[in-house]
A and B are shown apart, each in its own frame.
Chain A
């Protein structure tokens, strides 16, 4: 059973289905985030439905591009034989 689940995530033949399931999951989570009962959060942003989704996406994008920028332009990434 475990092998079949892993196959589902690996095999290219399921790619289209995987995207559909993924989008459906995103949709359900966002809807749930709007419906869920909110207490008074510590900060103003805790009270916005959809805050987690927007922040997650932006944070992920920022991490990828800022890090790669620092890595390439900041001279952090070097050839593998740099220290040899």
Chain B
């Protein structure tokens, strides 16, 4: 076992030690642990580790292959970045939550069997929910509860699906689910697409992420949805439904982002949109498409982390999160502006930035599979991505109308974390070969063709033209947007109303009936039976007894003990018999 140390275990042990440390030593620990995990991933070789038998089932804690390694790399890199970003946080519980969250996500990535996956899946739900609760506001607590409820539901579906799948196949080893359409297949797929935030099961994400702590949201943006993409790549490659769900999802996020006023909720809708590309890639299922999904997940984690860090820096320094209350911050936060914009160029897939070399791989794979409608839908979403993340959000947050605030740049550790992410966004864009080398299948794709560059730049810069021409129609409004969480937020209200009104009344009426009609009739019946018991049954019993007693007494008198009396009685009896016989015979 020494030849392989599970990086998830490193985070688990790290979390156990955290409460014992304070101040500077805790800060050092926050860096040592993710770096140790990163080193463990860097020195890892492919193979199966930690296989054992538990109640007759073969389990496998660590299945290391190229696909697992891509995700392990980016998860641990993001762990380093996110923890640098949260070095200033003095709340140990939040750091423990982050450690457990990252560790459990890595548990899922290396899970070789369904049970290990389930354990990681469940810890992930609870640890991540804590990052929402830790914001310690009423709205965060409520959103956190809703978040937890959705993920617990997903976990139960997953458990049910796993048990059914295990019974059907006789093996709990994690891999592609062969047969389609069965109950196990459907339950597990629903559990996975809940975590991938596929509409209409997306609302937990856009509801909860903007309510999390500034640092918590950075971790949240990275792990849950991308773990879902990872397990989808493993279990459901080439599922036609996912192609269409993914393309719709990419547009769904874009449409909501137009309406959104909360800066982090806007970014959250663009997680939905970007994960749509990955889901579509899984659905297409060719080697190029799966490579595209994996590499886009890699790039996405880093640029989305950077965007959340940028928006978080603004919230940290101003305490405001609505675009209608922000603006003009470029004067005093130029570094934040530049770092945020690098993330924005990366998500928008500008040449030389990471999104350009990964997103286009998914689109090219859709093209290679002759899916014109999917290519067009994803291209519209690309335009929308730049429109919101690259233009609308920075315009109303950093430029535009001056809100009068003059915040300084965020703390040095925040800027450092954002700089690492920014360097990676550009590094991947300039040298895509390094990332391509990590991908599960050999890559035969060259993003930097002249035509691809001019087409992408045309698309993006004419999107910008549209933005500036129609700017006044895009002004953020002081509204919230109803999403599918309406059903359980209003649904919960309706449920409570039904429980407190009709059901409570019904219950009252039933208990009224039982108090009056049933209770009284029962009482009456009981009384009747009591009386009948006393008067009739007892009387009969007593009567029989008394009669027997009287007969007994009479018989005693008869038994005098005198022989002449007995002889007289016998003679009398014989005479009586004869008399009876004569009477009957002659009559």
A interface residues, Cβ below 8 angstroms from B: 2-3, 5-7, 9-10, 22, 25-26, 29-30, 32-33, 36-39, 41-43, 46, 50-57, 59-68, 70-71, 75-80, 82-83
Expressed in whole angstroms, the Cα–Cα distance for A54 and B376 within the complex equals 13
Expressed in whole angstroms, the Cα–Cα distance for A82 and B490 within the complex equals 10
B454, A33: Cβ atoms under 8 Å? Answer: yes
Contact of A52 with B466 at beta-carbon distance under 8 Å, contacts A39-B449, A43-B372 already known: no
Does B464 interact with chain A (Cβ within 8 Å)?
yes
B259, A62: Cβ atoms under 8 Å? Answer: no
Of listed A54, A57, A63, residue having the most chain B CB within 10 A: A63
B368, A25: Cβ atoms under 8 Å? Answer: no
Q: Which residue of B lies closest to A32 (CB)?
A: B454
B338, A63: Cβ atoms under 8 Å? Answer: no
**Which chain A residues border B256 with CB–CB below 8 Å?**
67
Interface residues of B in 446-485 (CB under 8 A from A): 449-451, 453-468, 470, 473-474, 477-482
B481, A77: Cβ atoms under 8 Å? Answer: yes
How close is A21's CB to chain B, nearest CB, in angstroms? 12
Range, interface on chain B: 35 or more
**Which chain B residues border A75 with CB–CB below 8 Å?**
482
Expressed in whole angstroms, the Cα–Cα distance for A52 and B337 within the complex equals 28
Does B258 interact with chain A (Cβ within 8 Å)?
yes
Q: Which residue of A lies closest to B335 (CB)?
A: A2
A53, B462: Cβ atoms under 8 Å? Answer: yes
Q: Which of A53, A64, A82, A83 is within 8 Å of B459, CB to CB?
A: A53
Expressed in whole angstroms, the Cα–Cα distance for A35 and B141 within the complex equals 57
How close is A10's CB to chain B, nearest CB, in angstroms? 4
A76, B259: Cβ atoms under 8 Å? Answer: yes
Does B176 interact with chain A (Cβ within 8 Å)?
no
Other than A29-B461, A56-B460, A67-B255, give 8 A-B pairs with Cβ distance below 8 A: A33-B455, A42-B370, A43-B372, A56-B462, A60-B383, A60-B470, A68-B473, A76-B482
Expressed in whole angstroms, the Cα–Cα distance for A15 and B464 within the complex equals 15
B259, A68: Cβ atoms under 8 Å? Answer: yes
How close is B33's CB to chain A, nearest CB, in angstroms? 32
Expressed in whole angstroms, the Cα–Cα distance for A6 and B330 within the complex equals 7
Expressed in whole angstroms, the Cα–Cα distance for A26 and B119 within the complex equals 52
How close is A42's CB to chain B, nearest CB, in angstroms? 4
Expressed in whole angstroms, the Cα–Cα distance for A36 and B455 within the complex equals 10
Expressed in whole angstroms, the Cα–Cα distance for A39 and B256 within the complex equals 36
B450, A37: Cβ atoms under 8 Å? Answer: yes
**Which chain B residues border A33 with CB–CB below 8 Å?**
454-455, 458
Does B162 interact with chain A (Cβ within 8 Å)?
no
Expressed in whole angstroms, the Cα–Cα distance for A46 and B463 within the complex equals 18
Of listed B256, B259, B383, residue having the most chain A CB within 10 A: B383
